[in-house]
Amino acid sequence: MYRSHNCGVLRSSDIDTVVTLSGWVQKSRDLGGMTFIDLRDRYGITQLAFNMEVNEELCLAARKLGREFVVQVEGTVIERSSKNKNIPTGDIEIKVSALKVLNASKTPPFTIEDNTDGGEDIRMKYRYLDLRRKTVRENLMLRSKIAIETRKFLSDLEFIEVETPVLIKSTPEGARDFVVPSRMNANQFYALPQSPQTFKQLLMVAGFDKYFQIVKCFRDEDLRADRQPEFTQIDCEMSFVEQDDILNTFEELTRHLIKETKGIDLPTFPRMDYADAMRLYGSDKPDIRFGMEFVEINELTQNKGFKVFDDAELILAINAEGCANYTRKQLDALTKWVKRPQIGALGLIYVKYNEDGTYKSSVDKFYSQEDLAEWCAKAGAKPGDLLFVISGEKDKARKQMGELRLKMGTELGLRNPEVFAPLWVMDFPLLEWDEDSQRYHAMHHPFTSPKMEDFDKIEESPAEVRANAYDLVLNGSEVGGGSIRIHDRELQRIMFKHLGFTDEEAQNQFGFLMDAFEYGAPPHGGIAFGLDRLCSIIGGADSIRDFIAFPKNNSGRDVMIDAPSPLAQDQLDELSIANVEKVTAE
Ligand code: ASP
């Protein structure tokens, strides 16, 4: 028997019990006559005590133990003289009577404690050591809890969990596919799924009625910060449902998850149209933990001789409460920030609504105190507040102001990770213009149904057609998205046509789905949650990497196993991959 108890369970009520524990040496302290060791396992830390006077040999053996040695001890639970209130086992310690080294350890390359001295690269290379740290382990335990609670919740609602294949044909969801060469079919390739979209729709045609799957998806995108080439979705689909049925079901799921993990009861989730989200927050995923909504002040600012505003399509203001005392330096820093290429604003105009009721702005030359008072009134500013104004082409100004709003929210401490502000964003446009290919793409995906009341605009003004598509936003991040699907072959054909597919191309790529629509496809719709992101938000962290056991780095590499890596020539030959430059692994 390696252990009678784990390292997290013993309490004062166990005093005098003889126990066996196994675990890792977290640290040891030598106090002359006594040696103390913190023994760690997944469940916690228990202090081991060795007394030189009682057993010199044992104590000397304990002093030889290095960090991360795996040991087994036998001993008696005793009361600790100096108690440690910070850990649950802090009232007791083990008076050790026998010690066995189960395995030695090299000195780890970084300290395995809550706050480590190891940088990101070294921790990723030795991820199995990083995973020994409590903070990282707790993140993965949260993930496990979320996955298990999802399964419980959905299975109670009679959802069926179905696995769909990983070696498939491309599904067009806007990203590049990862491809896998087929040895048995020379020069042919599988694609890894960007999502199980078409399969889950086929399961609805098959009559499964309610499907879910916690599933790996793959997208070969240029890695922006905090994107992973493989990620996990909670993927769901339901038949005979309308949009509200989906929203209600998955709002309940989200509420259940936050209740079970954080103990927080969330009220009904607000819903907002995409158009309003863009107008008020300049984003399709607004962080509504705080207000600072945009106000449009064109009519108050134009035709007063300030050319920048006169030429602008849109002039937006936000009110930063209590910021009238911002210094020149702070305002310059913000101006510089919005002018960075990533944000791209031409400048930033401010109006200080001073405590004494006067106004001070960077455009005093063009605007009177009465003018500035009007702007402030429209933005709901009080004395002591600060207005920021950004102008320009409509979509750009909104986007730039959206970024500034988030930055100010962060600066003013309005984005507390312990506060959860969910929001449904609804009625997304069906199509989105793509500059690169000079054509319309499906904003969600090509299987999303249009709002029938808009559909007559599809020829004349395609951008105005809205879709039965929705996103679940949590604290300013998209955590889920879905739609009511097309289930009619003819409508799907028309959609493909508008997306620039010929009938033949559509048939080649999606014939299997369109054929299925001719065999009694029920009305259906669904949603997919990004599990990694959901975990990071519930866990109150910024990076999804912290919630993935073995993540890839920013260049899509796994530095621990060193992947991707070159293949041997005979392997390439077998896969009929010709002309690959022979690269020898270092
Ligand atoms: N397949 C979609 C996605 O991955 C989600 C859905 O429409 O259910 O975004």
The pLDDT, as a whole number, for residue 173 is 57
Domain identity same for 339 and 428: no
Tell me, yes or no, whether 376 lies in a domain: yes
The pLDDT, as a whole number, for residue 579 is 56
- Nearest residue to 286 via CA among 123, 148, 409, 194: 409
pLDDT at 583 over 50: no
Domain identity same for 541 and 448: yes
CA 202 / ligand 1 centre spacing (Å): 14
Range of the domain at 298: 290-411
Tell me, yes or no, whether 19 lies in a domain: yes
The pLDDT, as a whole number, for residue 70 is 98
Q: Give the CATH number, domain containing residue 511.
A: 3.30.930.10
Domain identity same for 142 and 94: no
CB 298 within 8 A of CB 306: no
- Cβ partners under 8 Å of residue 403, min gap 6: 282, 338, 343
C-beta atoms surrounding 344 within 10 Å = 13
Percentage, residues of the chain above pLDDT 70: 98
Per DSSP bridges, beta strands 422-426 and 431-434 are: unpaired
Domain identity same for 260 and 365: no
Domain identity same for 333 and 394: yes
Give how far Cα 159 sits from Cα of 174, 209, 214, 236, Å: 28, 8, 12, 9
Query: Measured between alpha carbons, how far is 132 from 50 in angstroms, rounded to an integer?
Result: 25
Best residue among 170, 217, 235 to mutate for probing ligand 1, ranked by most atoms within 8 Å of CB: 235
Query: Measured between alpha carbons, how far is 324 from 456 in angstroms, rounded to an integer?
Result: 50
- Nearest residue to 473 via CA among 318, 319, 274, 275: 274
The pLDDT, as a whole number, for residue 495 is 94
CA-atom Rg of the chain in angstroms: 30
Domain identity same for 266 and 315: no
Tell me, yes or no, whether 253 lies in a domain: yes
C-beta atoms surrounding 505 within 10 Å = 12
Residue with the smallest CA separation from ligand 1 atom 6 is 482
Q: Give the CATH number, domain containing residue 17.
A: 2.40.50.140
Q: Identify the three-state secondary structure at position 262.
A: helix
Per DSSP bridges, beta strands 160-161 and 210-218 are: parallel
Give how far Cα 531 sits from Cα of 142, 258, 534, Å: 11, 13, 5
What string of DSSP letters covers 338-377? HHSTTT--S--EEEEE-TTS-EEETTTTT--HHHHHHHHH
429 upstream amide cis, omega within 30 of 0: no
Residue with the smallest CA separation from ligand 1 atom 8 is 527
Query: Measured between alpha carbons, how far is 220 from 218 in angstroms, rounded to an integer?
Result: 7
Residue with the smallest CA separation from ligand 1 atom 1 is 197
pLDDT at 584 over 60: no
Tell me, yes or no, whether 407 lies in a domain: yes
Q: Identify the three-state secondary structure at position 492.
A: helix
Domain identity same for 323 and 444: no
Tell me, yes or no, whether 220 lies in a domain: yes
Tell me, yes or no, whether 568 lies in a domain: no
**Which of these three, 411, 446, 474, is where a domain ends?**
411
pLDDT at 32 over 90: no
- Nearest residue to 482 via CA among 134, 192, 242: 242
**Which of these three, 87, 103, 119, is where a domain ends?**
103
pLDDT digits (tens, 9 = 90+) for 400-451: 999 999 999 999 999 999 999 999 999 999 999 988 888 899 999 999 999 9
Q: Which two tokens stand for residue 478?
A: 């998209």
- Ligand 1 atom closest to the CA of 194, numbered from 1: 4
Q: Which two tokens stand for residue 130?
A: 């990083």
pTM score, two decimals?
A: 0.94
Best residue among 164, 173, 195 to mutate for probing ligand 1, ranked by most atoms within 8 Å of CB: 195
Domain identity same for 215 and 250: yes
pLDDT digits (tens, 9 = 90+) for 229-284: 999 999 999 999 999 999 999 999 999 999 999 999 999 999 999 999 999 999 99
- Ligand 1 atom closest to the CA of 236, numbered from 1: 8
Q: Which two tokens stand for residue 404?
A: 């500034």
Best residue among 164, 445, 532 to mutate for probing ligand 1, ranked by most atoms within 8 Å of CB: 445
The pLDDT, as a whole number, for residue 172 is 60
Exposed, middle or buried, 225 (CB in 10 Å: 0-12/13-18/19+)? exposed
Query: Measured between alpha carbons, how far is 522 from 207 in angstroms, rounded to an integer?
Result: 8
Q: Based on the structure, what is the number of domains in the chain? A: 3
* pLDDT, averaged across the chain: 95
Query: Measured between alpha carbons, how far is 381 from 80 in angstroms, rounded to an integer?
Result: 59
Beta-ladder partners of 211: 160, 237
For the chain, report the end-to-end CA distance as a whole number of angstroms: 44
Pocket (CB within 6 angstroms of ligand 1): 173, 195, 197, 445, 481-483, 526-528
Give how far Cα 480 sits from Cα of 254, 403, 470, 529, 582, Å: 10, 21, 8, 4, 43
Tell me, yes or no, whether 384 lies in a domain: yes
Domain identity same for 444 and 491: yes
Beta-ladder partners of 236: 212, 527
CB 471 within 8 A of CB 478: yes
Residue with the smallest CA separation from ligand 1 atom 7 is 482
pLDDT digits (tens, 9 = 90+) for 319-328: 999 999 999 9
174: left (phi over 0), alpha (psi -120 to 50) or beta: left
- Ligand 1 atom closest to the CA of 237, numbered from 1: 8
pLDDT at 582 over 80: no
pLDDT at 298 over 60: yes
pLDDT bin (cut points 50, 70, 90) of residue 175 is confident
Domain identity same for 523 and 480: yes
C-beta atoms surrounding 186 within 10 Å = 11
Domain identity same for 233 and 148: yes
Domain identity same for 523 and 473: yes
240: left (phi over 0), alpha (psi -120 to 50) or beta: left
pLDDT bin (cut points 50, 70, 90) of residue 484 is very high
Best residue among 164, 171, 173 to mutate for probing ligand 1, ranked by most atoms within 8 Å of CB: 173
**Which of these three, 360, 382, 411, is where a domain ends?**
411
Phi then psi for residue 519, to 5 deg, are -115, 50
- Ligand 1 atom closest to the CA of 485, numbered from 1: 7
pLDDT digits (tens, 9 = 90+) for 348-389: 999 999 999 999 999 999 999 999 999 999 999 999 999 999
Query: Measured between alpha carbons, how far is 289 from 476 in angstroms, rounded to an integer?
Result: 8
> What is the separation of C-alpha 181 from the centre of its chain, rounded to a whole number of angstroms?
31
Query: Measured between alpha carbons, how far is 420 from 153 in angstroms, rounded to an integer?
Result: 20
The pLDDT, as a whole number, for residue 586 is 41
- Nearest residue to 269 via CA among 428, 409, 479: 479
Tell me, yes or no, whether 6 lies in a domain: no
The pLDDT, as a whole number, for residue 372 is 98
What string of DSSP letters covers 419-448? S--EEEEE--BSEEEETTTTEEEESS-TTB
Tell me the average pLDDT across 481-489. 98
Q: Give the CATH number, domain containing residue 310.
A: 3.30.1360.30
Beta-ladder partners of 288: none
Beta-ladder partners of 524: 239
Query: Measured between alpha carbons, how far is 235 from 163 in angstroms, rounded to an integer?
Result: 11
